[in-house]
Amino acid sequence: MTFNRYEWRLVLRVIFLFIAITATAMVVVAGRANYIYGVLTIPMVVFSVLDLIRFQRKAQDEVNQFVESIHYRDFSRHFDVRRAPNELKPLRKGFNEINTTFKLISRERETQYHYLQKILELVDTGLMSYEQETGETGWINEAFKNLIGVPYLKTIHSLEKREPELYNNIIGLKPGDAQVFSVTRNQQQVKMLVSASIMRSDNKMYKLVAFQNVSEALDETESKAWSKLLNVMTHEIMNSVAPISSLADTLKNRLKSPEITGGIDASDLEDIELGIDTIKRRSEGLLKFTESYRSLNKITRLDLNKILVRNMFENLNSLMRPTLEKKHIELDIILRDPALAIEADINLLDQVMINLLVNAIEAVKDRPEPRITLAAEVQGSNKIIVKVMDNGVGMPPELLDKIFIPFFSTRKTGSGIGLSLCKQIMLLHKGNIQVQSTEGKGSSFLLTLSPPVTAPSAP
């Protein structure tokens, strides 16, 4: 076993103190004749004790200074080793090594924190954490702020005033569970998959909630489900109705033969013909109705080209002008960038735009100053938004989720195919169609499309 310099100095001080105490004890035991030697030994004991106390106090002061720097997280503090007493040099050297290690750990943690922060800001999933006991929020990323539409939340309870239904759903969501909730944003229904988990930090329980926009994914899944259903329905209906129409034709021809007309009263014959005509007419109507829904499943491929939005708007204006002038409807076109272009199948996109314009004309026809607006702009995510807006009658909130469902129509003469077809065309373009509407004020249909990869060219 070897001793360092600090330990040797401590051992020498203890030995010197032991010798002084021993000498003093011997003087006391020897009697009065040797008391004169006590004048020498007692100061030696006092000096040794004070020196040992001073030595320990210096070490204690160094430790206190180091503890203070640790308490205030001041890892930049440097203990001068060269100017320190010999017995304190090892101590100061150790403190400096500890500070260096702490600085390295702190730098690594800070780097990891900033790295994690950047990752959380880049993901599309909204994240929020809050302390379960007090409700104080810990972490909120930009995706959450944009998705929920709140710039800042001090506590989770602040969300109750803005979104009471969402607040209750979050509070009631159990850790490990996931549910789909709907939130209205700018008169649009946004579906979010919300999941929660629990974590412990500094003896506090935090609830971490994740919000993921699943509207587009659900729309695509819903569209595929409707497509499969329509395939089955059109197949079964046409297989069942076609023989009925054919049989009605056969019966009507048989009624014209002399052997049948001669044995039946004229009024009865007329009733039978009327009934057969009704069966035939309704069968043909049902076949035509079913055939129209087949168009929902015929579109599988796109002929994509680079299209100038300006040219598309001008073509639509020329096409719809007679109808608009006849109904005294004003059409406005707002396009700040004449070179704005999209990548789309112009034939299918024209079909979508015409359908939306026809619906807008129907919505504004009874308004005192009917107006329809076509607009386009670039969104922050490098997507292009094409808008068809009107100042018509608008729609109540309960209809906004239903208008894109096949078979659903708000008009008595509507087939419910138009907007369903529009939605399928937009999904094929890897885009989306959304509606914003306020009852009594008007509606806006928003088409999300991608810009062309290369320079635009006229269609």
158: helix, strand or coil:
helix
Together in a domain, 273 and 309: no
Q: What is d(CA 229, CA 158) in angstroms, rounded to the nearest whole number?
A: 44
Nearest residue to 4 via CA among 91, 120, 80: 91
At which of 14, 47, 74 does a domain end?
Answer: 74
The sign of the dihedral angle between the CA atoms of 23, 25, 28, 29 is negative
Q: Is the separation of the CB atoms in 142 and 120 below 8 Å?
A: no
Together in a domain, 134 and 259: no
Q: What is d(CA 375, CA 164) in angstroms, rounded to the nearest whole number?
A: 34
Q: What is the pLDDT along the chain (459 residues), one digit of tens a residue?
A: 455 565 666 677 777 777 777 777 776 666 555 666 666 667 777 777 777 777 777 777 777 877 777 777 777 777 777 777 776 777 778 878 888 888 888 788 788 777 777 767 667 777 888 888 888 887 788 777 777 777 777 888 888 777 788 888 888 888 888 777 777 665 456 677 788 888 887 778 888 888 877 666 556 566 666 666 666 666 666 666 677 777 777 777 776 666 666 666 666 667 777 777 777 776 776 666 566 556 555 556 778 889 999 999 998 888 888 889 889 999 999 998 889 999 988 888 888 898 899 989 988 988 888 999 999 998 766 789 999 999 988 888 777 777 777 656 666 555 556 787 788 788 888 888 888 888 888 999 999 888 887 544 444
Residue 163's pLDDT is what? 78
Q: Is the separation of the CB atoms in 21 and 45 below 8 Å?
A: yes
Together in a domain, 210 and 223: no
Together in a domain, 352 and 424: yes
Residue 455's pLDDT is what? 47
Together in a domain, 158 and 208: yes
Q: What is d(CA 192, CA 211) in angstroms, rounded to the nearest whole number?
A: 6
Range of the domain at 436: 305-449
Residue 53 falls within a domain, yes or no? yes
At which of 214, 244, 276 does a domain end?
Answer: 214
Residue 85 falls within a domain, yes or no? no
Residue 89 falls within a domain, yes or no? no
Which CATH number is 329's domain given?
3.30.565.10
Together in a domain, 344 and 438: yes
Residue 80 falls within a domain, yes or no? no
Together in a domain, 162 and 241: no
Residue 19 falls within a domain, yes or no? yes
Q: What is d(CA 296, CA 421) in angstroms, rounded to the nearest whole number?
A: 6
Residue 309's pLDDT is what? 93
For β-strands 371-378 and 384-390, DSSP reports them as: antiparallel
Together in a domain, 58 and 178: no
Together in a domain, 40 and 136: no
Which CATH number is 152's domain given?
3.30.450.20
